[in-house]
Amino acid sequence: MAKITESKLAKEMYVNQLKTAKEIAVFLCVQEKTVGNWVLKGNWKAERDIQLSTSNKGRDSLKKVISNLAERRVEIFADRRKALDTDDKKTLLTLDTEAASIADQISKMNATLKHYDQENRITPTVYLEVMQDVFNALRQTDERLHLKTLDFQEAHAQFICKKLA
C-alpha cells in the first residue's frame, strides 16, 4: 500500500475510529513510530480532540469503543476456556496478550472519557451567568413577562445548583 494511502487510512482510524497508534501500526503493518510521526505532522490529535468535543458525539463514540472492546474481551475469555480444554498453549498466549492489550486500551479510553467529561462540564457559575443574560434580555424586551418568570428563575437556579454541584 502506498504511504499516502496508508497515512489517509491511518488518519481515518485515528481521528474518527479513535484507534491508537499501536493498533493502526499493527493493522497497516508499519512501525508505530511511523504512525506517531503522521499524528504529529498532521496535527491529528487536535483534529480528534475537536471531533470528540463536538456535542456528545465524542462521548458517545468513546463509550461505543469501550463497549466494543469489552465485548471482544468477553469473547476472548470464551475462546480461552476452549483453548484450556485442548491445552493449546500457543493460542492461550495469543489470547492472553490480546486480552491484556484490550484491558490497556479500555483503561486509556476510560481515562480519555473522564478527561472529556471534566473538560466539557458546565459549571453552575457559567450556567447561571448564561441564564441571567437570558432573563436580562427578557426584562429589556418584555418587563411584564420577566416579572412573571421570577419564581421560575429562582426555582430553576436552585435546581441547577443542586444538579451541577
Q: What is the pLDDT of residue 32?
A: 92
Whether residues 117 and 132 share a domain: the answer is: no
pLDDT tens by residue, 104-150: 999 988 988 888 777 777 778 888 899 999 999 999 999 999 999 99
Reported as half-sphere exposure (CB side, CA atoms, 13 A), residue 89 has a value of 0
Angle at 28 between CA 22 and CA 33, to 5 degrees: 45
Q: Do 100 and 142 fall within a single domain? A: no
Instruction: Tell me, yes or no, whether 64 and 100 share the same domain.
Output: yes
Decide if 101 contacts 108 (C-beta within 8 A): no
31 and 72 housed in the same domain: no
- Residue 1: is its pLDDT beyond 60? no
Residue type present at position 57: K
Examine the fold and report which residue of 12, 27, 53 is the final residue of a domain before the chain moves on. 53
pLDDT digits (tens, 9 = 90+) for 23-55: 999 999 999 999 999 999 999 988 887 776 665
State whether 113 and 63 are in the same domain.
yes
Whether residue 117 is found in the same domain as residue 129? no
- Predicted TM-score (pTM) of this structure: 0.48
- 89 and 144 assigned to the same domain: no
Domain membership of residue 149 as a residue range: 124-164
**Inter-residue contact 94 to 82 (CB < 8 Å):** no
Q: Are residues 141 and 117 in the same domain?
A: no
For 111, the 3-state DSSP assignment is helix
Last residue of a domain, one of 11, 32, 53: 53
Q: Are residues 68 and 117 both part of a single domain?
A: yes
Same domain, 61 and 114: yes
- Counted residue by residue, the chain has a size of 165
The count of structural domains within the chain is 3
Say yes or no: 40 and 61 in one domain: no
72 plus 101 within the same structural domain: yes
pLDDT at 53: 65
Q: What is the pLDDT of residue 132?
A: 92
